[in-house]
Amino acid sequence: MKKIGIFGGTFDPIHHGHLILACEAIETLALDVVIFVPAAASPHKLQGESASAEARLEMVRAALEGEPHFASDAMELERPPPSYAIDTMETLRQREPDAQFFYLVGEDNVARLETWHRFADLAKLVQFIVLDRTGRPGEYAYPVIRRHLDISATDIRNRVARGQSIRYLVPPSVEKIIFERQLYRES
């Protein structure tokens, strides 16, 4: 049976923390692939993203290039917002009816996970996996992949706005897109 990890998020921008935890998920869970699914608009983020959907997708694709166990899917960007995980999973279940799905969730989203749109239906389609990069001890109702990584998209956007380096925080291909498109210049 094919084992597929789904990693949704705004990826504004995608960074090494996302990629490292996705690699950990592949190794820990013996996943065949992790599919990164950029959200058109997260129903749980009140403020709009700083980069356009097109730019975020371009950065995700650039970051994943050459990684055989990583893929991207733009389905949420092709639907009207907001982006609901259940809609994505129903589509993926139709594409891969025999696969086992693991939904990778950042520890910052676990507390409100049960408030997600049609959560009960979603929980029947996936095994939730918590990605915890805080390094703090904590208990979750789901399996956890822990790796202390002090990297955040917010910090990266703020560093760019202040004219500071983001080298080693994002892949070079993502850094190039950020600077060529002049993303995150306004704080």
Q: How many domains does the chain have?
A: 1
Residue 150: per-residue pLDDT: 94
Neighbours of 48 (CB within 10 A): 11
Q: Is residue 160 in a domain?
A: no
Q: Which residues pair with 104 in a beta bridge?
A: 7, 129
Is 178 inside any structural domain? no
Contact in structure between 131 and 143 (CB atoms under 8 Å) = no
Q: What is the pLDDT along the chain (187 residues), one digit of tens a residue?
A: 999 999 999 999 999 999 999 999 999 999 999 999 999 875 555 455 589 999 999 999 999 999 999 999 999 999 988 889 999 999 999 999 999 999 999 999 999 999 999 999 999 999 999 999 998 888 899 999 999 999 999 999 999 999 999 999 999 999 999 999 999 987 5
Residue 171: inside a domain: no
Predicted pLDDT at 143: 96
pLDDT of residue 47: 56
pLDDT at 82: 87
Is residue 161 assigned to a domain?
no
pLDDT of residue 46: 47
Residue 78, both tokens: 């092709």
Domain assignment present for residue 143? The answer is yes
- What is the strand order of the sheet 127-132 is part of? 70-72, 33-38, 3-9, 100-106, 127-132, 144-146
Query: How far apart are alpha carbons 152 and 120 in whole angstroms?
Result: 30
Three-class secondary structure of residue 144 per DSSP = strand
The closest alpha carbon to 181, from 54, 35, 83, 92, belongs to 54
Residue 75 belongs to what domain range?
A: 3-151
Q: Which residues, including other chains, have CB under 8 Å from residue 183's CB and lie 6 or more apart?
A: 13, 50, 51, 55, 160, 177
CATH of residue 52? 3.40.50.620
Residue 90 domain-assigned (yes or no): yes
Give the tokens for residue 28. Answer: 């820990």
Which residue bears the tokens 């733009």?
74
Report CA torsion sign: 130, 52, 69, 43: positive
Residue 157 lies in a domain: no
Q: Reduced to 3 states, what is the DSSP secondary structure of residue 129?
A: strand
